[in-house]
Structure 1
Amino acid sequence: MNKKKILKIGIVMDPIQLIKIEKDSSFAILLEAQKRNHQIHYMEINDLYLKKNHAYAKTRLIKIQKKINDHFSFIQEQNISLNQLDVILMRKDPPFNMEFIYATYILERAEKSGVLIINKPQSLRDCNEKIFASLFYKFIPDTLVTRNISQIYNFWEKHKDIIIKPLDNMGGSSIFRIKEDDVNFLVIAEIMTNYEKKYCMVQNYLPSVKYGDKRILIINGQVIPWCVARIPKKGETRANIAAGGIAQVKTLNKKDWEISNYLSPILKEKGLIFVGLDIIGDKLTEINITSPTCICEIELNTNISITGMLIDYIENQIY
């Protein structure tokens, strides 16, 4: 039997020295890739550049280990044409800003030269994690995307209890709940819209969040049958783990499967290979495509290897 090729796997991520390795999904993916003896090229977003219409990056070969405060070492640094790599994982966390978009343009040049990019750069640009979910209106809460404070006020008057959040952030950052008769309505609306200069998303509050904001993972159209339900801590609206939410691993219910099975072929067609759906109660709230998390929590509590499924997909595409 022929020996499998050692792949050159690139990853664009936030500074690796700052991650929490016990729950970082990018780190878990890299551990699986390293276990299979693939070569890992580490990059941050400012390492990417274009030169004479070709995509390049300063990369560092990296070795990693599950040891807190001593989890990585750089072996070698070099500037390379990105078409020397077999695959690049784009795992840069939001904010989803113009710098992120510029990076996708560079990665798209590499993609056109034959490099597999996960997730597809065009779809990273097209499918804003908040607005993309609004396409599937039969599954989402009542939703308004606007920068007009009067429209937000009317929405609040209708629902009495709403959530307002930015379109470009993550981890529960800058998410506000506005209850009925909240005297802070105007100042929150002014801040969130930057005095009607910035779009935001407004949704009716879902009381079922107390049972968990579920993160469901999909790999190449295949739905993982376990999810992470993020339970808000007492007195907190946000369920995100980054905001102090408690993670519970659960099996998918009937509605979870309905939503996931409906979306999975659409995501696959768009080249969105690794995706996280956020579901509260029976409502889809977000579609995470930039750097989905919760691999570690699921793998720790089940016998499913999500990282194995992702690296299997990559190997099957390259070999």
Structure 2
Amino acid sequence: MAALTIGFLMDPLEGVRVDHDSTFALMLEAQRRGHQVRYFEQPWLRFGGTSAEARMRTVTVRREPGNHFDLLDEQIRPLSSLDVLFLRKDPPVDADFIQATQLVELCNGREPVFLNNPTGIRDANEKLFGLRFPELMPETLIARDMVALSRFVASHPQGTILKPVEGFGGQGIVFLQPGDRNTRSLLEVLTLGGRKAIVAQAYLPESRQGDKRIILVDGEPCGAVLRVPAQDDHRGNMAAGGTPVKTQLTPRELEICARLKPSLQARGLYFVGIDVIGDWLTEVNVTSPTGIAEVDKLDNTNVEAKVIDVAERLAGSRR
């Protein structure tokens, strides 16, 4: 295939962990295939009078911690100069993030191929999107009403997981059991005194064995990693200290993937990481899913190659 110009809207390249970061793995794979790699950060994005543009850096990358990229060029370019744009800015999905997903669409009819589609990203809140499939989810309440939340906690003897709707990386997740004297105080803190909705979800005891991150590329499962929490924590997220362990997909997990596939494809969500505990879907991560490096290492595979395959196919069809 002819060389493409592939851009990455991401967090600062200087700070990536080269043996863990999924965006960096995608950059390496794109470069290996002869594509030009550019990146820019969210504050560098702007509308230039006729179309979206950004201060872009053209780089070469390598897996050497502390010496992992060379800057070849830096200048303001229109987003229409890109064949493909990976939207890989980490959460939180705040007002700036939403505005960025709107700005990148302003390309005067010459937008790049987006992975993932910005409209799809806005449509698929990572804590809420799975609720479109209630038969796949554990019992869940989204509310700011502390009376309703207290009743939910009281009605689940095995415990309740509370988490912010816009949370990420395991931040702000709380495990609460019925009768805990901290219940009222915690609900006040988490809901900002009843002004902010949170997620209350029935605790799944299987979470002690780990939660499973499954990577979907164009709706198809391409690998998984079991994230096992530390003994003194209830969170399996690797950002929160969880340990990655090799795993296999179960028939139920394959069923979950198949149920999600049409909705993900319809929204242009080509690279997705879903989280499953036991038999239940808990999250659908579409903004900047991680796990590529862990799956590659544990399964001796190359997930990033499948993602770049999709990017090349879509860009080829566009041309």
Fold in common (TM above 0.5): yes
Question: Which one-letter code corresponds to 2:62 in the other structure?
Answer: Q
In the alignment, which of 194, 197, 201 is matched to residue 196 of structure 1?
Answer: 194
Rounded to whole Å, the distance in 1 between the matches of 2:96 and 2:56 is 19
Rounded to whole Å, the distance in 2 between the matches of 1:120 and 1:201 is 25
1:150 paired with 2:147, answer yes
Partner of 1:108: 105
Partner of 2:156: 159
TM-score under structure 1 length normalisation: 0.96
Alignment of 1:1-319 (within 5 A): 4-110=1-107, 112-160=109-157, 161-224=159-222, 226-319=223-316
Q: Are the counterparts in 2 of residues 223 and 264 from structure 1 also a CA contact under 8 Å?
A: no
Q: Deviations over 1:176-223 (max 9, x none)?
A: 111122111122111111111111111011110011100001101221
Question: Which one-letter code corresponds to 1:183 in the other structure?
Answer: R
1:117 match: secondary structure = strand
Q: Are the counterparts in 2 of residues 208 and 281 from structure 1 also a CA contact under 8 Å?
A: yes
Question: Which one-letter code corresponds to 2:160 in the other structure?
Answer: I
Q: CA deviation at 1:301?
A: 2.2
User: What is the Cα-based RMSD across aligned positions, in Å?
Assistant: 1.2
2:107 match: secondary structure = helix
- List 4+ stretches of structure 1 deviating above 4 A: none
* Aligned sequence identity (%): 37
Question: Which one-letter code corresponds to 1:195 in the other structure?
Answer: G
Question: Which one-letter code corresponds to 2:249 in the other structure?
Answer: L
- Tell me the number of residue pairs that the alignment of Structure 1 and Structure 2 aligns: 315
Q: CA deviation at 1:53?
A: 4.1
TM-score under structure 2 length normalisation: 0.96
Unaligned runs of 5+ in 2: none
2:105 match: secondary structure = helix
Q: Are the counterparts in 2 of residues 139 and 283 from structure 1 also a CA contact under 8 Å?
A: yes
Rounded to whole Å, the distance in 1 between the matches of 2:111 and 2:172 is 39
Question: Which one-letter code corresponds to 1:302 in the other structure?
Answer: D
Q: CA deviation at 1:111?
A: 8.5
Unaligned runs of 5+ in 1: none
Q: Deviations over 1:108-164 (max 9, x none)?
A: 223942311111111111110001111110010110111111111010111131011
Rounded to whole Å, the distance in 1 between the matches of 2:197 and 2:121 is 19
2:246 match: secondary structure = strand
Rounded to whole Å, the distance in 2 between the matches of 1:243 and 1:251 is 23
1:57 match: secondary structure = strand
Give the direction of change, closer, same or farther, for the CA distance of 1:201–1:47 in structure 2 (3 Å limit).
same
Q: CA deviation at 1:51?
A: 2.2
1:250 match: secondary structure = coil
Q: Are the counterparts in 1 of residues 115 and 311 from structure 2 also a CA contact under 8 Å?
A: no
